[in-house]
Structure 1
Amino acid sequence: MSAPNALFSETILLLGGAVVAAPIFKKLGLGTVLGYLAAGVVIGPIFHGITDGEQILGVAELGVVFLLFIIGLELKPSRLWQMRRDIFGLGTAQVMLTGLALTGLSYFSGVLDWRGSVVAGFGLALSSTAFAMQLLDDAGEVNTKYGQRSFSMLLFQDLAIVPLLALITILDGGSGSNAPLLDFAIAVGAVGAMIVMGRYLLTPLFQVIARTGAREAMIVAALFVVMGSASLMQFAGLSMAMGAFLSGVMLAESSYRHELEADIEPFRGVLLAIFFIAVGLSLELDVLIDNALFIIAAVPIVMAVKAVIIYGLCRVSGSSHDDAIRIAFLLPQGGEFGFVLFTTAGAAGLMSFSTASLLVAIVTLSMALTPLGAALSKRMMKGEDHEELDEDFEGAGADVLMVGFSRFGQIAAQILLAGGRDVTVIDFSADRIRQASSFGFRIYFGDGTRKDVLRSAGIEKAKIVVVCTQKREITDKVVDLVQAEYPHAKLFVRSYDRVHSIALRNRNVDYELRETLESGLLFGRRTLEALGFDDADALEIGEDIRKRDEERLVLQVTGGLQAGRDMLFSQPVRPEPLVKPKRTMDFDEDPLAGTADVTADA
């Protein structure tokens, strides 16, 4: 079979395995991750449908890269600074204590010498960011306290890969590199370059692209930024995932954050699924069979040691029992960076390649057992009350999601902000975002007619969705989408005109208002006052007009636009002096004597 045909067939197998396995395992309550692993084992080691699992794994690791980029988008630099104690305190303690404990076990097992034991111990101390974050995402608990603490440890582990790779160079006598200080300087310089580019180049780049209105260019730019930053970090000797994470953090305060997250999410989901399948593909059943007794003993011991140390550290650092149990059962597995360490150590002669393969098998099997462990952890919880969401993420916990920052929306937002409520605002106009930023407003670039953008903007947590777009067709699309996908959210909608108001009421929105109604009523009142009317009389007339306008709308919803015609005024009220009118005057919209609506946009 030709190479292109083979690639096509392998792609079909991977996608087909994901389609079949994920729903089945999700339905059984085992999680999609375990389903992808099972699909990989069936396709590869059992039926030999795909034999080059390691090559696929290399490509599918982009899923981890995209995952870290999205996580970075959700972390403002200020929030990252607040997490520094968990990252550098709890994270350092976890890697050091777990690494030393597992180093001791490796040495006393008699399989490795002290140098190989150090590599094995610290390699097994690292956990899988892909597995842990996917499990958190499936459960919707990424933003919980325990989710953030888990991520802090994972982030430090990603940072630790750099000194651990340098440690291999030291242990093998320095043959791997002749200039470790130069390598360190290059890594620091690359991080500095990422920070500078993120602060001064990325946002202007997306502003230029957004003004063109080319959706595909926005997606391509997002992919370019993620993969470019990942490649830069890899060149500097750091992990690709770390580069993507840094670029995400640099864009976390950008107005384009939600749009970028929505653009990247489909690629992240597909590639991460293929990553888990590839882990299953690379599982060497021969190694498992030949060393079955050793692996059966080693895997639970490694996972137990990590879980106990993590639980103790979390309790000491202030976590509740339930949160510590969750974290301990979420992070006991080996990580994908262990593959890198063990392979590098084998090439450096610190361990045999057969031992490296055995360690890779232990890591892979521990990954496969993690979803089961996470499910079993619930039996050990006490049901303690704890805060579910960390509200420190900008927009993530906002009660109000505003779609469209028109002049109407700007005024409404002022009322909400003055009332002390957080508002997440998205708009699809790059110029409006730039203008708003000049006045100190924080709004995000995003297309409110896209489900993925609404989800990224936090609609699942919003109590009210305020639609303030300037075009009727756009407003209708947003309303239909929200009602179909997020029926829990109340809809408050700015209508285009009276006809639009009637249509929105027929859609059963919770509240609608024509932009010109209140301003027209106020304008009329002020005009009456200028003509000599008493303020109280003018106010009473205005309130009566508002009341009867509402009554007419109710009639028109069921009886059509012509309903309530008799409530219109075509002549001034007599006699004078003015008394409270028995019929209301409405000059704003209805047809008069069969003619067209004189001001249909009111």
Structure 2
Amino acid sequence: MSTAPTLIFTEALVLLGGAVVAAPIFRKLGLGTVLGYLAAGAVIGPLAHIITGAEEILPVAELGVVFLLFVIGLELKPSTLWRMRADIFGLGSAQVLLGGGLLTIAAVMFQLLDWKAAVVAGFGLSLSSTAFALQILNDRNDMNSAYGQRTFSVLLFQDLAIVPLLAMISILGNQAGSQSASLWMDIGIAIAATLAMILTGRYVLTPLFQIIARTGAREVMIAAALFVVLGSAMLMQAVGLSMAMGAFLAGVMLAESSYRHELEADIEPFRGILQALFFIAVGLSVQFNVIFDNLLLLALAVPLIMLVKGLSIYGLCRLAGSSHNDALRIAAVLPQGGEFGFVLFTTAVSAGLFSNATASLLISIVTLTMALTPVVASLANHLLKGEAREEIEEDFEGAGSDVLMIGFSRFGQIAAQILLASGRDVTIIDDSADRIRQASMFGFRIYFGDGTRLDMLRAAGIEKAKIVAVCTQKRDVTDKIVDLIAAEFPHCRLFVRSYDRVHSLSLRARNVEYELRETLESGLKFGRSAITALGVSEDTAAAIEDDIRRRDEERLQLQAVDGLRAGTHMLYNRPVQPEPLVKPKRGAEQPEDAL
């Protein structure tokens, strides 16, 4: 066997091993997987010298960003993208112009670069990393939040800005005369290619996948998905746009296709692995010799650049109508330099605007700002203000019924219907103004109040209530209400919605009269219906359901007696051993436990 394939497999093994080791450790430490991948790359490459040549790995690893943008495009219908146009072209362009302008002025003021090089450096550093920002949003499950959508809009414009920025480098590199006509030609070609992509996606891709789906060949569908992503990416790159932009457009065009979910499932494994590889490749590219040689400059420049970008983004988002918290979140996710900075700075060297040393220094700045982004995003959480809750003035006139229900979410709404249908009066309190308004549309009378406050409970008529039903969603809130009522009204009969098994044991220790895990009965009914649909008789299905319910209760009683450590699901004396389940015998016999 030749050494070249062996070397490739060895490097792949090392990279995968680094990802497997670093990601869980950093996730456990609360630092995020991105920082873990960066650290793994830095150790594998510049520190241990196990792998060299990050410039060869990075172009392949960038496919992770391409696949990520395709998946995001699948989640955005063209109508949704159209609604985001103000943020994309308004806020996005303002961010690039303001951030690039401020960083350019700073470079000139401190006499770090001449004005031409300062313009390229300033606008190159104004671009943020799509991969880093979107990974943070995905880790937080905030991609579809208001601030997540606005963050993505800014990133999308930055991808579009790469074309005029590359043209600007050509102009500044004393090639203006020859480039004047070709600039407009390049822009025209880019627009034409984008329109061709849109038309192809709208009229060709869906019929194509319909034909492939009829073959029933799963591997062909996967190959077609990869072909579409890579083909659209290569087309956009050929006309000067980013590969990620091409993949994103292809995703948007397929967002309304019936094959959207299947395509997403096919691409997702490739996206995850390649995106992890991208972050590791960035870590591989860290030039520690450049960092050590310019330690003081970098110690001043990196935080200054992140501060300038962060403050400018925060101010623009506030002007665009974002709340303080959302603007701060966006600013904390986008303060880093981006992967397009590598492209711009390398191009600037070719155009004679930079020396190789300057480009290396700027690339080191981008890399360090990337590495610090997860930390900055985490620290920014401490500057968030408590979200202002809408409050309603409430006089509690007419309150005081047989049943006092605290919390009117989905669980409480179902329980309340049974109580009301039986002819019982129910006093319901909830602390969500929106939920109260929605419930009033269906004829429910709900009082606005915080069930953790003693004065609210008294005003709601807790002293007259025969039963207090605590149906709040969060475990800590439920526990606080139960403890308050047990201390102040010890004779109240408490019926409590439980979050999970551990919570049920905790509530039983508080001597509540009745508790029910929120998913227990629905899960049992679901399973019973499923086996009935598979041909099991109604009597047998009912017997199995009763048997599972009985066994669950017996295990709960065992755990309640012997004790359960919170979060470990282990008894102090011995572990709970769930009994094997057997099919109940037909007829009148009760199901027997398997030993």
Asked whether the two chains share a fold, i.e. TM above 0.5, the reply is: yes
Matched to 1:499, the amino acid is V
Q: Unaligned 5+ residue runs, structure 1?
A: 388-398, 400-419, 421-482, 510-555, 565-602
Seen in structure 2, the aligned counterparts of structure 1 residues 557 and 78 have a Cα distance that, compared at 3 Å, is: same
Q: Does 1:228 align with 2:265?
A: no
Give SS of 1:141's match. coil
Decide whether aligned partners of structure 1 residues 129 and 502 sit closer, same or farther in structure 2, where only a CA change above 3 A counts: farther
* In the alignment, structure 1 residue 370 sits paired with structure 2 residue 367: no
Q: How does 1:530-541 map to 2 (within 5 A)?
A: none
Cα offset, 1:71, TM superposition? 0.7
Q: Does 1:181 align with 2:218?
A: no
1:188-337 pair list within 5 angstroms = 188-337=191-340
Distance 1:29 1:252 in 2: 34
Q: Deviations over 1:131-152 (max 9, x none)?
A: 0000111111111111111001
Q: Quick one: distance in 2 between partners of 1:104 and 1:280?
A: 30
In 1, Cα distance between equivalents of 2:154 and 2:65 = 16
Task: Tell me, yes or no, if the aligned pair for 1:505 and 1:557 is still in contact at 8 Å.
Answer: no
Aligned to 2:126: 125
Match of 1:396 in 2: none
- Residue 111 of structure 1 deviates from its aligned partner by 2.4
Residue 212 to residue 504, structure 1, CA distance change in 2 (3 Å): farther
Secondary structure of 1:283's match? coil
Distance of 1:264 and 1:503 partners within structure 2: 43
C-alpha separation between the residues in 2 aligned to 1:187 and 1:489?
A: 57
The normalised TM-score by structure 2 is 0.68
Question: Which residue number in structure 1 is paired with residue 104 of structure 2?
Answer: 103
Deviation at 1:317, TM superposition (A): 1.0
User: Helix, strand or coil: the match of 2:174?
Assistant: coil
| 1:35 corresponds to | 36
- Check conservation: 1:190, 1:233, Cα contact below 8 A: yes
Q: Which amino acid aligns with 1:179?
A: S
Q: 1:497 to 1:380 in 2, by over 3 A?
A: closer
Supply the RMSD in Å over aligned alpha carbons.
2.7
User: Relative to 1, partners in 2 of residues 1:130 and 1:490: Cα closer, same or farther, differing over 3 Å?
Assistant: farther
Q: Structure 2 vs 1, CA of residues 252 and 355 (structure 1 numbering), >3 Å: closer, same or farther?
A: same
Q: CA deviation at 1:109?
A: 2.4
SS of 1:499's equivalent in the other structure is: coil
Q: Corresponding residue for 1:459?
A: none
- The AA in structure 2 aligned to 1:217 is V
Q: Deviations over 1:86-106 (max 9, x none)?
A: 111111111111110001011
CA offsets 1:72-119 (integer angstroms, 9 cap, x no match): 001000000001111111111111111100010111222211111110
1:558 Cα shift?
4.4
In the TM superposition, residue 170 of structure 1 has moved relative to its aligned partner by 1.2
Counterpart of 1:309, as a letter, is S
Corresponding residue of 2:152? 151
Distance (Å, rounded) in 2 between the aligned partners of 1:119 and 1:113:
10
Q: Cα gap change, 1:205/1:500 in structure 2, threshold over 3 Å: closer, same or farther?
A: farther
| Counterpart residue number, 1:360 | 363
**Corresponding residue for residue 138 of structure 1:** 139
Asked whether the 8 Å contact 1:502–1:557 carries over to 2, the reply is no
Query: Does the CA-based 8 Å contact 1:112-1:351 persist in structure 2?
Result: no
| Map 1:535-554 → 2, pairs under 5 A | none
Task: Please tell me the residue identity of whatever aligns with 2:331.
Answer: A
Mark the CA change 1:507 to 1:135 in structure 2 (over 3 Å): closer, same or farther. farther
Query: Could you say which residue in structure 2 is the equivalent of 1:80?
Result: 81
Relative distance call for 1:42 and 1:212 in structure 2 (3 A) is same
Alpha-carbon distance between aligned partners in 1 of 2:204 and 2:8, rounded to the nearest angstrom: 37
Correspondence 1:445-460 to 2 at 5 A:
none
Q: Aligned letter for 1:141?
A: D
Q: Specify the alignment match of 1:499 in structure 2.
A: 536
Q: CA deviation at 1:371?
A: 0.3
* Deviation of 1:381 (Å): 0.5
Instruction: Tell me which amino acid in the other structure corresponds to 1:220.
Output: A
Contact 2:524–2:545 (8 Å) recurs in 1: no
- Equivalent residues of 1:288, 1:295 under 8 A apart: yes
Letter of the structure 1 residue corresponding to residue 355 of structure 2: S
Distance in 2 between the 1:285 and 1:563 partners? 77
CA offsets 1:520-566 (integer angstroms, 9 cap, x no match): xxxxxxxxxxxxxxxxxxxxxxxxxxxxxxxxxxxx98442x569xx
Partner Cα distance (1:321, 1:138) in 2: 22
Measured after TM superposition, the shift of residue 63 of structure 1 is 0.3
Residue 237 of structure 1 deviates from its aligned partner by 0.8
Residues 150-192 of structure 1 show CA distances to partners (whole Å, capped at 9, x for unaligned) of 0010001111111111111111122785622221221111101
Letter of the aligned partner of 1:113 in structure 2?
D
After TM superposition, the structure 1 stretch with the greater mean CA deviation from structure 2, 97-106 or 169-178, is 169-178
Specify whether residues 497 and 337 from structure 1 end up closer, same or farther in structure 2 by C-alpha distance, changes over 3 A only.
closer
Query: Could you list the per-position Cα deviations for residues 200-244 of structure 1 after superposition, in whole angstroms to 9, with x for gaps in the alignment?
Result: 111111111111111111111111100000000011111000000
Letter in 1 for 2:286: L
Range with bigger deviation, 21-30 or 214-223: 214-223
Which residue is equivalent to 1:114? Answer: 115
Q: Quick one: structure 1 residues 114 and 385, their matched pair in 2 at CA, closer, same or farther if it must change by over 3 Å?
A: same
CA contact (8 A) 1:91 1:157 kept: yes
Distance in 2 of aligned mates of 1:501 and 1:244: 51
Query: Hey, what's the Cα distance between the residues in 1 that align with 2:38 and 2:524?
Result: 34
Matched, 1:91 2:92: yes
Q: Which amino acid aligns with 1:232?
A: L
Gaps of 5+ in 2: 391-409, 411-440, 442-518, 547-581, 590-595
**Distance in 1 separating the partners of 2:217 and 2:167:** 44
Question: What is the CA distance between 1:503 and its match in structure 2?
Answer: 7.6
Counterpart residue number, 2:7: 6
Q: Relative to 1, partners in 2 of residues 1:76 and 1:493: Cα closer, same or farther, differing over 3 Å? A: farther
Judged with a 3 Å threshold, the aligned counterparts in structure 2 of structure 1 residues 504 and 187 are, in CA distance, closer, same or farther, namely: farther
When the two structures are superposed, what TM-score results if normalisation uses the length of structure 1?
A: 0.67
Q: Which amino acid aligns with 2:158?
A: Q
Q: 1:496 offset after TM fit, Å? A: 3.6
Equivalent pair of 2:544/2:584 in contact (CA under 8 Å): no
2:166: which partner in 1? Answer: 165
Matched, 1:379 2:386: no
Structure 1 residue matching 2:175: 3-state secondary structure: coil
Identity %: 63
For 2:297 and 2:75, how far apart are their aligned partners in 1? Answer: 42
Distance 2:144 2:524 in 1: 20
